[in-house]
Amino acid sequence: MKHMRSFLTFPVRHYSKDVSEQTLSKSHQVISPLNFVLGKRIDAQGPSSFQLIAPATGKKLRNIATSNEQDINEAVLAARNSYRSWSKWTGFERGKVLKTAADLIRSKVDDLAYTEVLDTGKPIWEARYDILGCADTIEFYGGLAGGIKGDFMQLSGGSFAYTIREPLGVVGGIGAWNFPFQMAAWKSAPALACGNTMVFKPSQVTPLTAVMLGDIYQQAGLPGGCYNVVQGEGETGQILCSHPNIDKVTFTGSVPTGSRIMAACAKDIKHVTLELGGKSPFVVFSDADLDNAVKGAILANFSNQGQVCSNGTRVYVEESIAEKFLAKLIERVENMKIGDPYQEDTTIGATISPQQAAIVEDYINIGKKEGATVVYGGERVTPPGSNFAGGIYMRPCILVNCTDSMRVVKEEIFGPVMSLLTFKSEEEVIARANESEFGLAGGVFTRDLQRAHRFVAALEVGSIYVNNYNVYPVGVPFGGYKKSGIGRENGEDSLDYYSQIKSVYFEGGDVECPY
């Protein structure tokens, strides 16, 4: 859940017989080639391949050929050749292409959203929400493109200097599986706005909508080769990062992979942006509006099946209101509807994969062994309808009797597991909130303005929510402190990470030389 829009403003098209997984799985988006090079869908050479599974039903959709070194060479060469002309377009011209792409995304929102559901198992309205947010992001960078400029400095004796903001070159993008279209959009839009070209590798689990973005850019007038997609697993990502003709890598994923990518980039002194994991604190003071705090806690833990990097999964509640908070929380979570993600009223869809479900279940067991108690959920649910028997559906889990030293409280689970902790004082909770190797996000619910400001100043994180959580309006930078990453996305600041400054000195007089 990444953008602040009213859910009610979205066009809602109700689930019909025309949009079922069976029909979607035979659609062009699924059966056509899934690499995208020089503006065309093409097949990777393989010879190895991997399977694409629909999380909602557990059914196999197809095999996808793995992009090998030659596939990546071709995509990078296409991006390099296109860079020569694209980087010479004016920012305004580049911006027009991005704005057209944003409009096309809006006109195809249902196509994109249903395909995203097929890939991820997330509820359809969440997918629609993500896709429309991406249209805004691409339009936002389209608007900024024409204003990308350098600076002018008057110097003494008629001399002067100016700076030119230039693109970096060819950017390699690598995405995670929880917001597949968003990863492709958040990375490509600022990169293209600055005049770079891109080769993007989506997660092997969610390959479909990044290619649809390629089709859309093409239709919007982006020259072939400016945005390319290669499909593959970790090894393909590794080849892309280490490619000598890639100038920058922008990555979203886990800390261990981020660390490996940074090491690969260090070898060739490549620019790198890392959007990594988190274990964010969510703090509720006794003076908070309790209903809003409960809503915030649910947004912070259970949207997208709990698979959100910025989730506030360490929920610290002031001791005096902890029982009341928990009672209200359970009452609201009980109403969440688990099941068919293609239904408009479903609020919890399928977990991305059996492997991820096993990680989540392992953590719940570890928590229990460490002394935590499951007060709600944590078990698998079989939704009505035989179609969904092969998907994995989990009831959101609330753990109490947690302590800061437990693994469930310290480590990122990336599933619907909330750890509830209590605190007595502001100083205490700030110290505990900061006691983490991560620093992606944090939240505080309080009506005390001064306390809110103290909290904002003290928390060591990249994004802080005061009296809300997990909203990402376009234009507000997003990124982590500490091990949660390097760089920013979604705001004007991202342009700094996709461009470099050339300083130009002009002499207005004679050369002064003491030699």
Closer to ligand NAD by CB, 197 or 250: give it: 250
**Least distance to ligand NAD, CB of residue 363, Å:** 13
Backbone φ and ψ of 244, nearest 5° = -65, -20
Write the CB contacts of 23 (distance below 8 Å, at least 6 apart in sequence): none
Nearest-angstrom CA–CA distance, 213 and 164: 30
Quickly list DSSP for 303-335: GGGG--TT---EEEEEGGGHHHHHHHHHHHHTT
Closer to ligand NAD by CB, 359 or 374: give it: 359
Nearest-angstrom CA–CA distance, 392 and 414: 15
Closer to ligand NAD by CB, 326 or 364: give it: 364
Per-residue b/e over 210-239, b at no fewer than 16 CB within 10 Å?
Answer: bbbbbbbbbebebbbbbbbbbbbbeebbbb
Q: What 3-state class would DSSP assign to 422? A: strand
**Least distance to ligand NAD, CB of residue 171, Å:** 14
Strand partners, 481: 439
323 is an active site residue: no
HSE-CB for 371 with a 13 A CA cutoff: 8
Closer to ligand NAD by CB, 137 or 422: give it: 137
Nearest-angstrom CA–CA distance, 427 and 254: 31
**Least distance to ligand NAD, CB of residue 74, Å:** 19
Cα–chain-centroid distance for residue 304? 12
Nearest-angstrom CA–CA distance, 210 and 115: 11
Return the H-helix or E-strand segment holding 130. Answer: helix 124-145
**Least distance to ligand NAD, CB of residue 256, Å:** 7
Angle at 312 between CA 438 and CA 318, to 5 degrees: 110
Closer to ligand NAD by CB, 75 or 97: give it: 75
**Least distance to ligand NAD, CB of residue 461, Å:** 12
Nearest-angstrom CA–CA distance, 208 and 175: 12
3-state SS, 428-469, equals: HHHHHHHCCCEECEEEEECCCHHHHHHHHHHCCCCEEEECCC
Residue nearest to ligand NAD (CB): 237
Q: Contact residues for ligand NAD (CB under 6 A)? A: 174-178, 201, 203-204, 233-234, 237-238, 241, 252-254, 257, 260-261, 275-278, 309, 412, 414, 440, 480, 485
**Least distance to ligand NAD, CB of residue 29, Å:** 19
Quickly list DSSP for 215-258: HHHHHHTPPTTSEEE----HHHHHHHHH-TT--EEEEES-HHHH
Strand partners, 70: none
**Least distance to ligand NAD, CB of residue 186, Å:** 8
**Least distance to ligand NAD, CB of residue 484, Å:** 6
Q: What 3-state class would DSSP assign to 391? A: coil
Dihedral sign of CA atoms 260, 264, 267, 273 in order: negative
Nearest-angstrom CA–CA distance, 178 and 93: 32
Closer to ligand NAD by CB, 97 or 176: give it: 176
Closer to ligand NAD by CB, 95 or 416: give it: 416
Closer to ligand NAD by CB, 67 or 100: give it: 67
**Least distance to ligand NAD, CB of residue 259, Å:** 9
- Amino acid identity, position 308: V
Closer to ligand NAD by CB, 94 or 201: give it: 201
Closer to ligand NAD by CB, 100 or 231: give it: 231
Q: Which two tokens stand for residue 334?
A: 């009980």
Q: What 3-state class would DSSP assign to 398? A: strand
Contact (CB, 8 A) for 440 and 309 = yes
**Least distance to ligand NAD, CB of residue 352, Å:** 8
Between strands 170-174 and 160-167, the pairing is unpaired
Catalytic residue among 139, 275, 318, 412: 275
Q: What residues are annotated to the active site? A: 275
